[in-house]
Each structure stands twice: as C-alpha cells, then as structure tokens.
Structure 1
Amino acid sequence: MDETPKTATMPIGVLLRRSPGVTRWVAQVWTLAGIVPHAPPADWTPLRDDGTVAEFHAATLTLELHRKDTDSLIQNLTAQVPSVWVALRGAGRPEPVKVTASPFEASFHEIDAEDRVEKVAMPAGMVEWVEAFVALHHVDEPFVKRRRDKHREGAAQDGIGDARIAQGADVWRNPQSLRGRR
C-alpha cells in the first residue's frame, strides 16, 4: 500500500495594497501586494500606512497541492516566472477566497463573474517545495487517441422519429435507403 500523502498544504498570507483612485468615481484601488509562505493567521492586520498607500495582511489561506494536478504545476514551474494566483471576491475592499499554484485552477476562478484573479511571483523556497512535490508524484501518461466504435460505424438508423406522430413523413430516413426504393 502506498503511504505517500496525496496532497501537500502550506498556509499562505495574502497581502493587499490600498491606494487612492485616479478618478473621482473610484475612491480606492485594491491590488495584490504579495504573499507570505508559512504565514500566521490574520484578519486585515495593518502592515504599513503612509497616509495615502496602506498594506494589509488580509487573510491566511491554505495552498493545497494535489497529486493529480502535477501537469498544471509543471506548466507553472516551466514558465518564465513561476507564479501563485489569488482569487479576490467583491467590489471595494476585496476578500481573498482562494490561493493556488495551478494555472488551470486559476482560470476556473477567472470564469466566475464574482472573482478577480491576480498573480504574483512565487518565492524561491516555495518553488523548491512545489518542485519536490512534483518530483514525488508526477507520472507521465502517454496520449492515447480515441478510436471510433467499429460496430456503430455506418449503421443505418432508419425509422427514428417522434413516436407520438404516426406519419411516414416525420420519420428520418437514411439517404441510402431512399435510393434503394427508386
């Protein structure tokens, strides 16, 4: 029996920056300032405030690596700059809801209209941690092209139509079967 854990987790601190808006319609702009690996729990802890720009340790979320996601992790690690994605929810002051190292999982959150996804460079120690996880769990699966079912290929489907209507005109006929009637 395989005793290797299927997942690995790390608490990640999400740092958000509040800066003044550039238009009169947007008073404040919130952006992702960075992440902190192995961060303690936090709930909008102020880190710095110079009067106009402020940074907060908004939340600590769990980054979870799954052994079935090693393909997406490899894609991330082979990018020019390996990244971590943070999903932020809400207008105004956003709430961090998800942190991931998988570009595929990040794209799922981008599809959702409620979430905004921002990325930040992955720290070097975290890159080594993800590389070790991938080295332990990745298995190359060869591509297998799907083949058509031989027994269904070219099978005639005469007479398929709406069973409630007893008209021959409503029934779909195979064009080849119509040639045989002439």
Structure 2
Amino acid sequence: MESKSAASFLHEKKWLLIYTRPKWEKKVDQLLKQQGIESYCPLRTVQNQWADRKKLVSLPVFNSYVFVRVTPREECEVLYTLGVIKFVYYMGKPAVIRDHIIEQIKINLTLYQNVEVVNLQSINIGDRVKIKQGVFINQSGQVIQIMGKKILMVFDQIDCALVTCIPFGHVVLNNIKNENEITSGNV
C-alpha cells in the first residue's frame, strides 16, 4: 500500500514559483514549454512610447517570477533550464501555489487589463524620487504623503514648491544625497 502512495506522490503535479534572471520571464516560459513542462508567465499589455512611435508590448505582471506545474521528478529539469535561478522557498520547501490562486490570476488578467503589481514597501515618506513617465518626466522631488497607490510629492528643482499626486508606478526611488549636503558635511 505504501509503494502505491509513494508512486502517486512522484506523479502528482503542483504549482511552484521559480525566480528567473531579470527580464527573462517570457523566455524562461517559452523554454519550459518547449521541454513539455507546464508553465505560466502572467502578462499585461502596455503601450510604450518612444520618440518616433508607440507600440503595444506584453510585460510580465510579476518581475522575475514564473509559475510551473510540475511533478517532483520534473523539478530538476526546471532548475537546469536557461534563465532559471531557483525555486522560491517557504519554510524550507518549494512554495506551493494552490490551483485556485493560479485560476484567480488568470481570471483577473482577463477581466482587468490594467493590472500592475506595485511594491508599496519600497517608497516611504521623506524618500527622494524621480518621475519616470508622464507630464513631469525626469523631475525629482521628495515624498510627503502616501495615499494608497499614489504619492504626494514636492518638486524642488523648480523655483517654487509644486505639490502633485503621482501614481507609484510612475516614480523610481532616488535617495542619493545631493552634492550640497555631501560637501557641507550634512550626510
């Protein structure tokens, strides 16, 4: 009886999460599928604008993560795939993602095309940020308030204090001390 349960364990497929090289999510997904391994890289479509054109591109919802549905035997094949760094672990074992969570992600991406994952812990009040898109692109300032997925910031590179509300996805952390603070010894 034990050998039957052990055999079924070796053939039981579970969703696991793998960590990939940066910007390799779609390539890893493709390589895994070519090997016959079930994988899922959730994508969202965004419009990128360059100086001369606009283009719709598919970007991963989760940077550097891909889901795989594998048996314990297939786990080694996943690790040997180009671009895969490691499995994500929880309590010393590969983190198992429940089937309904994967289905919920798929449903939400179908229903809501503007889904974006924002790490709210990366920006704090007092941080210096730089705007990476929108009307105030390349302007820097200081975060004075966090309101859900938006921040209230003060621009200090213009002659007056201009306060505006910017979505989290439009800024990058820029906590480099300015030259005046370094030379005056106020580090």
Provide TM-score, normalisation by structure 1: 0.22
Larger Rg: 1
